[in-house]
Amino acid sequence: MKPAAILFTVAIAVFHTPSHAYVDPGSGMLLIQGIIAAIGAFVVFIKNPIEAIKRLISRLRKK
């Protein structure tokens, strides 16, 4: 590693300032709700066509 990179890393670690960033609980719940909705949409839109294709194949095999 170059000495300049080491010096830069040490300087950032030593001379940091607080960022005063805040994520409120509503934003966190919105993120969780979006993840749950995406999983639900995946299950609904993927499972139903797969089941329909399986039923179609089983009907064709019976004939």
| DSSP state, residue 15 | S
Question: What distance in Å separates the CA atoms of residue 39 and residue 53, rounded to the nearest whole number?
Answer: 21
pTM of the model: 0.43
Token digits for 17? Answer: 């300032």
> Tokens 């179609």 identify what position?
56
Residues 32-54: pLDDT tens digits?
Answer: 899 999 998 888 888 778 888 88
| DSSP state, residue 57 | H
Residues 8-40: pLDDT tens digits?
Answer: 888 888 887 776 766 677 888 888 899 999 998
